[in-house]
Structure 1
Amino acid sequence: MKIESKNFRQICFVFALILVSFTELLITACSVTKNKENLSAFSPKTVLKLNSSNNNPRNSEGDFITLKDGRIMFIYSRYTGSSSNDHAPAYLAARYSNDGGRTWSSEDEIVLENEGGMNVMSVSLLRLNNSNIALFYLRKNSTIDCIPMMRISTDEAKSWSDAVPCITDKKGYFVLNNDRVIQLQDGRLLMAVALHQLPRGKWKDKADLYSYFSDDNGKTWHSSSQVPNNTNIITQEPGLIEMKDGRLMMYIRASGGFQQLSFSSDRGQTWSHIEPSNIPSPLSPASIERIPNTDDWLLAWNNNDGSNPLIKGERTPLTVAISKNEGKTWKKIKNIQDDPDGWYCYIAIHFVGKEDILLGNCAGSQSQNTHLSVTAITLLNKKWIYE
């Protein structure tokens, strides 16, 4: 059969278009697959899990510090005996990583024996502007005597100074969460605390919130005025972050379905009345830190607005998000753990090098009743978060 030259050219042209389109689709598919594979390489990885065991019923929340020799130190509360209760005996123990958090030592090193009538717990570690390391923790003597303490190391955590109480103007049961102490650009040390009970008072779930600050590297501490709250919203376990304009933002574990906020324009001496944030949350603490060398904030929390009846009020999932406008909006929202049986909270954030991030948090199971008894360390990469 004879084909006219013009028709033949048209057929060839159409075939060429089909071939080009198919090639483009194939390249796109390969590119997507490759991107997924590359992104998968940066996916979160659990690099250490501290499970409970005989005579060690709970391994609880802690914090990280990078030492000058490159090692990363993680200090947490190691409980002893048979009880995992908040008031059961515990001492401070450490694990180390020599490779940026990818692997960890297998044995505990005792950092601080139990010097409290009940325990020592809730660690914050901070590299001070003078290069010393500050260790903060709660010394819990009783349900009416729990005070944040500070020790200093001048030899890279080989030894520690005597303890200095961070609250001396009041007595009572104060809560300072792990990874909560900050140093402002001007050198002021700041912590946010929740007062639940006075020596002759009754326990209050709706805690009185304060910040305490030091301008002499922790030798002496002073109290702010109380954070105003004339609502019925329960406020607990506050944290702090410094803003670009010099203000401070306090973010607060709260009832009502959202984290609450308060602001200070005088370096933490007075605070605004609490107000709801745009962070949906059960009654569970969040953590917010600025990503080094950027203006971006990293948020880690339970992204649970209560709309799912299966997990309403529970501390799951464990989620991260990024804000480029100091918390006005949150983007890149991703779940790290989403097991509905999980219990994820008391999160420490630590930045490693230019790309990696470590999260340390309680990671127990509701069905196994190990809620706060298990602590996990997760290695993240910025590429995974920002994709």
Structure 2
Amino acid sequence: MKSIKMIFVLVFLLSQTFMIRAQLAKENEVVLRLEPGSNNPRNSEGDFVTLKDGRILFIYSRFTGNSASDFAQADLVARYSSDGGKTWTDQDRMIVKNNAGMNVMSVSLLRLRNGDIALFYAGKNSIDDCIPMLRISKDEGETWSEATTCITDKKGYFVLNNNRIIQLKNGTLLMPVAHHKTPDGGDFNDHGVIYCYRSDDNGKTWTSSLALENPNAVMLQEPGLIALGKKEVMMFIRTDAGVQYASFSKDGGKTWSTVAPTEIRSPLSPASVARIPSTGDLVLVWNDNSAVKEGYKGRRTPLNIAVSSDNGKSWKNQQVLENDPDGWYCYTAIHFVGKKNLLLSYCAGNRPKGTGLSVTNVRRLSIDFLYP
């Protein structure tokens, strides 16, 4: 009799395990896929913000014309979700029509501590003129202010990736940028000089740090930030050295340590890091092809996710979200929906088909998925 009861108990436990796994599988799925189409060769680099009525606003770069180049024409448009990111509107709403020489792209959205929504993006005019711009909405994204130029102390081509601006607890805004100085008449200079800009007046004025020291002369590009404490901040930086590099500030972004390699294996591709509100851990999304077959080397595939319980010193629970060897996964935005879910937007095209940066996915994950 006892053995029969034990069998029933085991069957019940197994059924519960399969149910949980099935539920988690449902909560790890692509919920929106933005494919290119006629007069729309590329959709990329977006970011999210949750509105006060519960809807989620997603703004991304929609290219027009025939070219998907970083220097081609693009506007900023929006989609909305009213059910926590499960489904999305099927029509774009124009947010910022292109008024630059080349395009407007690479969105960062941020709910400011005063309740306003900040929209940052690149205003790109030429290969030696690209400056982060800022617009503010006081009515939940219905209307936006005129654009403010964020960098006024220098001229040139400044790269600010999507989903990159942070606000510290004291209200200071931090903006990490890579300054690419291209010689007159020369090809685009891939080596960036890294700065962090600070604003204490909600983006009206900005002050630059000194350039971060790079004694090994590695190729530095597309920096990002994560707050580790009240004034302690980590900057993570894309490089050509096979790993992400990092720099640290202990004074709220005023001064920074010399850049140094981390243990985060990575091709020349950006990473994204955010803090999970419900657990306090960090989540990292990046490309790690260090342990896969040779055909992946140097490519932005697979797309990986991991968590850290020690402020980024080590990473655990590494999992693969996308693993097509011909896929091209990058420019991730991380957004949390309540305590149970997160959304990831990222480029998810196919290199042989020529759509590497032209397709954007929005994936919805359960927080539980991060802790298998």
Q: 1:353-368 alignment to 2 at 5 Å?
A: 353-368=338-353
Task: Tell whether the 8 Å contact from 2:40 to 2:62 is kept in structure 1 after alignment.
Answer: yes
The aligned residue for residue 222 of structure 2 is: 237
The aligned residue for residue 40 of structure 1 is: 22
| Structure 1 runs not aligned, ≥5 long | 1-15
Shift of 1:32: 3.4
CA distance in 2, matches of 1:267, 1:385: 29
Letter in 1 for 2:220: T
Aligned CA distance change for structure 1 residues 100 and 229 (closer, same or farther; 3 Å):
same
Equivalent residue for 2:99, pick from 105, 108, 115? 115
| Structure 2 runs not aligned, ≥5 long | none
Q: Are 1:329 and 2:314 counterparts?
A: yes
CA distance in 2, matches of 1:80, 1:363: 19
Q: Are 1:276 and 2:261 counterparts?
A: yes
Letter in 1 for 2:305: V
Letter in 2 for 1:323: S
Q: Are 1:136 and 2:120 counterparts?
A: yes
The aligned residue for residue 98 of structure 1 is: 82
**Residue 55 of structure 1 aligns to a residue in which SS?**
coil
Q: Are 1:147 and 2:131 counterparts?
A: yes
**Residue 42 of structure 1 aligns to a residue in which SS?**
helix
CA distance in 2, matches of 1:221, 1:72: 29
**Residue 163 of structure 2 aligns to a residue in which SS?**
coil
CA distance in 2, matches of 1:37, 1:293: 23
CA distance in 1, matches of 2:152, 2:65: 31
The aligned residue for residue 170 of structure 1 is: 154
Q: Are 1:87 and 2:71 counterparts?
A: yes
Task: Tell whether the 8 Å contact from 1:39 to 1:384 is kept in structure 2 after alignment.
Answer: no
**Residue 310 of structure 1 aligns to a residue in which SS?**
helix
The aligned residue for residue 28 of structure 1 is: 10
Shift of 1:29: 5.3
Aligned CA distance change for structure 1 residues 173 and 41 (closer, same or farther; 3 Å):
same
CA distance in 2, matches of 1:162, 1:63: 20
CA distance in 2, matches of 1:363, 1:163: 30
Aligned CA distance change for structure 1 residues 344 and 25 (closer, same or farther; 3 Å):
farther
CA distance in 2, matches of 1:158, 1:151: 12
Q: CA RMSD in A?
A: 1.6
Task: Tell whether the 8 Å contact from 2:278 to 2:339 is kept in structure 1 after alignment.
Answer: no
Letter in 2 for 1:31: L
Q: Are 1:261 and 2:246 counterparts?
A: yes
Letter in 2 for 1:60: S
Task: Tell whether the 8 Å contact from 2:63 to 2:72 is kept in structure 1 after alignment.
Answer: yes
Higher Cα Rg: structure 1 or 2? 1
Letter in 2 for 1:52: P
The aligned residue for residue 236 of structure 2 is: 251
Q: 1:207-218 alignment to 2 at 5 Å?
A: 207-218=192-203
**Residue 146 of structure 1 aligns to a residue in which SS?**
strand
The aligned residue for residue 362 of structure 2 is: 377
Task: Tell whether the 8 Å contact from 1:171 to 1:198 is kept in structure 2 after alignment.
Answer: no
Task: Tell whether the 8 Å contact from 2:182 to 2:189 is kept in structure 1 after alignment.
Answer: no
Aligned length: 369
Shift of 1:305: 1.6
Aligned CA distance change for structure 1 residues 127 and 29 (closer, same or farther; 3 Å):
same
Deviations 1:303-351 (A, max 9, x none): 2226520110111111111100001111111111111121110000000
Scaled by the length of structure 2, what TM-score is found?
Answer: 0.96
CA distance in 1, matches of 2:30, 2:206: 38
Q: 1:197-212 alignment to 2 at 5 Å?
A: 197=181, 200=184, 203-212=188-197
CA distance in 1, matches of 2:279, 2:115: 22
Task: Tell whether the 8 Å contact from 2:49 to 2:57 is kept in structure 1 after alignment.
Answer: yes
Letter in 1 for 2:17: N
CA distance in 2, matches of 1:308, 1:254: 21
Q: Are 1:295 and 2:277 counterparts?
A: no
Task: Tell whether the 8 Å contact from 1:317 to 1:340 is kept in structure 2 after alignment.
Answer: yes
Letter in 1 for 2:223: P
Task: Tell whether the 8 Å contact from 2:178 to 2:195 is kept in structure 1 after alignment.
Answer: yes
The aligned residue for residue 6 of structure 1 is: none
Shift of 1:277: 0.9
Deviations 1:209-234 (A, max 9, x none): 00011001111011010010011321
The aligned residue for residue 67 of structure 1 is: 51
CA distance in 2, matches of 1:343, 1:180: 20
Shift of 1:201: 8.2
Scaled by the length of structure 1, what TM-score is found?
Answer: 0.92
Aligned CA distance change for structure 1 residues 24 and 313 (closer, same or farther; 3 Å):
farther
* 4+ residue runs over 6 A deviation: none
Shift of 1:28: 3.4
The aligned residue for residue 169 of structure 2 is: 185
Q: Are 1:227 and 2:212 counterparts?
A: yes
Deviations 1:30-59 (A, max 9, x none): 523431331221221100000001100000
Deviations 1:187-228 (A, max 9, x none): 000010001125748532221000011001111011010010
Q: Are 1:352 and 2:334 counterparts?
A: no
